[in-house]
Chain A
């Protein structure tokens, strides 16, 4: 069974602080993705990666960085968190072909106060 694990599941941060969201997959998938979920917007792509060492900007990358140090791990970094980044964040992995499905983690609920 494909497995994507996110940590932490819940996070409260202060404005201006640094936040790191972590994602681990045991599927041996090449591609990994970070989405944020907001009411009325659905899932919006922040960053994605084709493999270890690669990161690509998605549709809403401003204010976020990503890091892919290995096939299994993909992190999302908020260097200076702002209240507008309060959201639910989902990590996903996929084989890397357009017809393949994505496997999502359970999400991280982030509140920036």
Chain B
């Protein structure tokens, strides 16, 4: 079945550091790829998506590029802030007609001021 793998379970950075969270996927067809962010006590919320090869999604300074060959959608941000501390989820929705969304295990980001 379809799957999403996030390499890092936890990431700790200082403010203004560069962030990379790795996301790789396995899916049939041509899935849409997403990043969601979850703050404490809240449900996950949509950050951005990409739907085709080499498309870049971005929001709030975060970005990721759809790489079909490498089956990756790595999240990056040039300069993190303490307010970016949250759990980040990579997800896919396969274009197979059942509209199921598959999420990765999540990466907890802690940014120290």
Contact = CB atoms under 8 A, between A and B. Distances in A.
B9 A90 contact: no
A102 interface: yes
Interface majority SS (helix, strand, loop, mixed), chain B: loop
Interface residues of B, number: 29
Nearest to A45: B100
B89 interface: yes
A98 to B, nearest CB: 4
Interface in B15-71: 31-32, 34, 36, 41-46, 49, 51
A106 B42 contact: yes
B105 interface: yes
Contacts of B95: 98
A25 interface: no
Contacts of A106: 41-43
Contact of B32 (A40, A45, A59, A99): A99
Interface of B: 1, 6, 9, 31-32, 34, 36, 41-46, 49, 51, 89, 91, 93-95, 98-106
11 contacts: A31-B99, A40-B9, A42-B104, A42-B105, A92-B101, A98-B95, A99-B93, A104-B44, A104-B45, A106-B42, A106-B43
